[in-house]
Chains A and B, each alone.
Chain A
Amino acid sequence: MSLITVTNLSVRLGAVPVLSGVDFTIERGEIVTIVGPNGSGKSTFLRCLIGALAPSTGQISRAPGLRIGYVPQKLAIDPTLPLTVGRFLSLPRRRQPADVAAALDQAGVPHLEARQMADLSGGQFQRVLLARALLENPDILILDEATQGLDQAGSAAFYHQIEMVRRRFGCAVLMVSHELHVVMAASDRVVCLNGHVCCQGTPELVASAPEYRALFGTGTKGALALYRHEHNHSHEAEGCTDPSHAHTHAHTHAPAHSHRQDEGQNV
């Protein structure tokens, strides 16, 4: 069965409807990226999935015993709270030092146990958050704009790490991001959210969907550039909401070929 199934989810924060009629599923081992403009309800959606927010209507069903590894958008640790990396990784469940060391290693930041969280660089901090999520031995990793504050190279490296983790653990990955190009290239499926699901499908499909274009305009040339090697124009076949639209985007890219297996090396 699916790890998480969302049916007709609607959320109001105060009087403001943030999400309406969202249907969503994620399968074991799948990498799904949620994109959408600011205020489109991406974080709200994730918070519903982890149980931090109760939906106004609709249902969220998780596979029994589902283990979630959550990497929050930001984690502001009050400077008055002393916290070593090792101690942080032992929250809320106590972990063996060997497990902590292994998780740090898998997240690409070995031997940081004794460092204070406050002394970490942005990239290290995000990887420590990832290590903590891995310690849950998750069925699904949920990342909320996990690369905020990292530069392009840093976030590319971070997502590469996620790819490796996914291969190693076989966990599903659900992430939210603004950095469309890096994220989308590594995704099996992209969901474009703006209060509701505008469109979804393979990255190349969503990138050329008019709903996506309407939201992100043509200012995402950088994003599209990274798809060019896999842009095979097969989107009519799959489920974008409006398959009959005219493809007006500029075809400046190289001839299409489509081996998605190579992705990992590109990011």
Chain B
Amino acid sequence: MFDDFLLRALLAGFGVALAAAPIGCFVVWRRMAYFGDATAHAAILGVALALAFGLPVFTGAVAVALLMALTVSSLSGRGYSMDTLLGVLAHSSLAFGLVAVSFLQDVRIDLMAYLFGDILAVTTGDLGVIWGGALGVVVLLAWRWQALLTTTLNPDLACASGLDPKREQLVLTLALALVVAVAIKVVGVLLIAALLLVPAAAARPFAATPERMALLAALVAMAAVAAGLGVSFYHDTPAGPSIVCAAAVLFAFSSLWRSIQNAA
């Protein structure tokens, strides 16, 4: 019953879920939803550049996503409204990426695959990249976890304890760029932000500590991957969007549970 391609898809999805969950929690806690969006959208430009120069797509996506994230970080607090700035950068980088892709006449690109993911076409090599990147993110976050949490609570508090909030911000930025790059194949640049936010939001009502929330978010994301792939397999729906739909349904149940708890 379990075809090889489906198993690979499942493993790829689990890898991304594992990395996206903790970074997604930080995106939620720090209200960086739009920031995640901008970084993800910029990745399509990275994909186009990588294809144009014959580089691995992963490298291009990481590089441009990181560049975008760093640009946003450095521009923030310079008199622009963050909201406006991110709106401009998120959509213009997507537009530039799409235009750049159109110049690549030699390469036949299935644009949809990068916009919405192509998880059923994951190769063993892709799996290696995805799990390598995902484990890298998890290790990085686990290493800086305490410092990241303190900085998220209050940068001054972190300073007083001898931490450098700017460095921690950089760690988050790097982790985010990595997650975006590994998630392209699974859900595509347009839906990466959903994979970051939705599981974390769904986990919130059930968590008493940050660690619990990250763990639950990972479980929610994995359940969504499994459910989404199942629906996709049996009903021939697009896999990436199906995964996000499954996550959204879990979020709806979680919210429902929360309102029942609050009412009681």
Interface assignment of A116: CB less than 8 Å from any CB of chain B: yes
- Alpha-carbon gap, A72 to B157, bound state (A): 7
User: How near does chain B come to A79, taking the closest CB pair, in angstroms?
Assistant: 9
B157 and A80 form a contact (CB under 8 A) = no
- Alpha-carbon gap, A80 to B152, bound state (A): 12
A78 and B31 form a contact (CB under 8 A) = yes
Q: How many of chain B's residues have a CB under 8 angstroms from any CB in A?
A: 30
Interface assignment of A70: CB less than 8 Å from any CB of chain B: yes
Interface assignment of B256: CB less than 8 Å from any CB of chain A: no
B210 and A80 form a contact (CB under 8 A) = no
User: How near does chain A come to B147, taking the closest CB pair, in angstroms?
Assistant: 6
B154 and A75 form a contact (CB under 8 A) = yes
A136 and B161 form a contact (CB under 8 A) = yes
Most chain A CB within 10 A, of B28, B31, B162, B204, is at B162
Most chain B CB within 10 A, of A83, A84, A142, is at A83
A82 and B156 form a contact (CB under 8 A) = no
A72 and B156 form a contact (CB under 8 A) = yes
Interface assignment of A87: CB less than 8 Å from any CB of chain B: yes
Contacts of B162 in A (CB 8 A): 51
Interface assignment of A77: CB less than 8 Å from any CB of chain B: yes
A70 and B160 form a contact (CB under 8 A) = yes
The answer, among A70, A83, A94, for a CB contact under 8 Å with B157, is A70
B210 and A92 form a contact (CB under 8 A) = no
Most chain A CB within 10 A, of B149, B155, B207, B212, is at B149
Q: In chain A, residues 200-227, which have Cβ atoms closer than 8 Å to a Cβ of chain B?
A: none
User: How near does chain A come to B58, taking the closest CB pair, in angstroms?
Assistant: 30
The answer, among B30, B155, B204, for a CB contact under 8 Å with A52, is B155
Contacts of B155 in A (CB 8 A): 52
Most chain B CB within 10 A, of A47, A52, A116, is at A52
Interface assignment of B213: CB less than 8 Å from any CB of chain A: yes
Interface assignment of B158: CB less than 8 Å from any CB of chain A: yes
A91 and B150 form a contact (CB under 8 A) = yes
B68-99 CB mask vs A (1 if < 8 Å, else 0) is 00000000000000000000000000000000
Interface assignment of B124: CB less than 8 Å from any CB of chain A: no
The answer, among B146, B147, B210, for a CB contact under 8 Å with A82, is B210
- Alpha-carbon gap, A106 to B205, bound state (A): 32
Q: Which residues of A approach B to under 8 Å, CB–CB?
A: 47, 50-52, 68-70, 72, 75, 77-78, 80-84, 87-88, 90-94, 116, 136, 142
Q: Which residues of B approach A to under 8 Å, CB–CB?
A: 28-31, 146-147, 149-150, 152-163, 165, 200-201, 204, 207-210, 212-213
A sample of 11 more A-B contacts (CB under 8 A), given A78-B31, A82-B210, is: A47-B159, A50-B160, A68-B161, A70-B156, A72-B156, A77-B153, A82-B209, A87-B209, A90-B146, A92-B150, A92-B163
